[in-house]
A and B are shown apart, each in its own frame.
Chain A
Amino acid sequence: MTIQAIVEELGLEALVAADLAREVRGGYCSDLLSDVLAHAKAGDLWITHQRHLNVVAVAKLRELSGVICVRGLAPGPDVISRAADEKINLLLTSEDAFEVAGRLHRLLHP
């Protein structure tokens, strides 16, 4: 499933729509950067409460398909412009991590 389809199905706000045609492999929930580097897989959508510059670096390094910022915790303009530079899809939801992870899981594994 593409990011585009997920954005529509889950009603996400695309803060940075870098590559909405990208295929999503799965999802990974974590607020620990090294944990994501160790265990997320390329193509995963990363669900997190973190919203600082290193989030973009980690998403890039792990070749994630995008980042979902939860509970309306929107990153600042510096993070948004870095994500745009690095071509990282940056998405926002007002839902909490449990809700959005559950809905994403149902979408990917119907």
Chain B
Amino acid sequence: MSPPIPPIHKRIFLVAAGDLEGAGSVSTAVRRTLRELGVEPDVVKRAGIVCFEGEMNMVLFSQGGRIILIVREDRVELLFSDRGPGIANIDLARQPGYSTAPDWARELGFGSGLGIPNMEQNSDRFEIHSRVGEGTVIRSTILRGVHDDTGDRGGARA
């Protein structure tokens, strides 16, 4: 594999546990940053959704963490890392419909178990690493300049 093209932009966002009111703010900032950098609208759209779902999961399930946005000539990368309970069964967590969201979060419309599938669906490459009792790291890569602009796609092309 050839070495990655150096970043043209890198930014770190902190995410606090339980901050549902502020949740979504990283996703908003990421979209604004990408738009300002002239990133393709379809890529901005997908990065926004990936970021929102990752951010919400950190808010709901972890003790806090950070999101790193890296923009390169040919791709956008989002790296989520948190301290927290981790994910014991990653294959299960990736399945649509699997959720351990508490009742109070379900009442607010979380807990359909579609967040991680949405992240995967909107990524070209998607990796989850997790250690129970320590935390979770998720990396999403979205390739630039290879997509149509319909916003609908069949699935992650890993």
Set of chain A residues within 8 Å of B27, measured between Cβ atoms: 57, 61
Question: Chain B residue with minimal CB distance to A42?
Answer: B151
Asked whether A34 and B110 contact (CB < 8 A) given A57-B28, A61-B27, A61-B48, the answer is yes
A35 within 8 A of B: yes
Within 8 A of B (CB), among A26-49: 31-35, 37-38, 41-42, 48
Which segment of B76-84, B113-121, B126-134 sits at the interface? B113-121
A32-B114, A54-B108 given; A37·B151 CB < 8 A = no
Q: Is B95 interfacial (CB 8 A cutoff)?
A: no
A54 proximity list for chain B (CB < 8 A) = 20, 23-24, 56, 108-109
Which of A34, A54, A57 has the largest count of B CB atoms less than 10 A from its CB? Answer: A34
Q: Does B21 contact A (CB under 8 A)?
A: yes
Q: Is B45 an interface residue (CB 8 A)?
A: yes
Q: Say yes or no: is B52 at the interface (Cβ < 8 Å to chain A).
A: yes
Closest B residue to A49 by CB, please name it. Answer: B109
Chain B residues 10 to 27 lying within 8 A of chain A, measured CB to CB, are: 20-21, 23-24, 27
| A residues in contact with B24, CB < 8 Å | 53-54, 57
Residues of B near A58 (CB, < 8 A) are 52
Q: How far is the CB of B17 from chain A (nearest CB, A)?
A: 16
Q: Nearest-CB distance from A48 to chain B (Å)?
A: 8
Closest to B99 in A: A34
**Separation in Å of the A3 CB from the closest CB of chain B?**
20
Residues in B neighbouring A31, C-beta threshold 8 A: 109
29 contacts between A and B (CB under 8 A): A32-B111, A32-B112, A32-B114, A33-B56, A34-B53, A34-B115, A35-B112, A37-B53, A37-B114, A38-B117, A38-B118, A38-B121, A41-B152, A42-B151, A48-B109, A50-B108, A50-B109, A52-B108, A53-B21, A53-B23, A53-B24, A54-B108, A55-B109, A57-B24, A57-B27, A57-B28, A60-B28, A61-B27, A63-B45
Residues of chain A having any CB pair with chain B under 8 Å: 31-35, 37-38, 41-42, 48, 50, 52-55, 57-58, 60-63
List chain B positions with a Cβ less than 8 A from chain A: 20-21, 23-24, 27-28, 45, 48-49, 52-53, 56, 108-115, 117-118, 121, 151-152
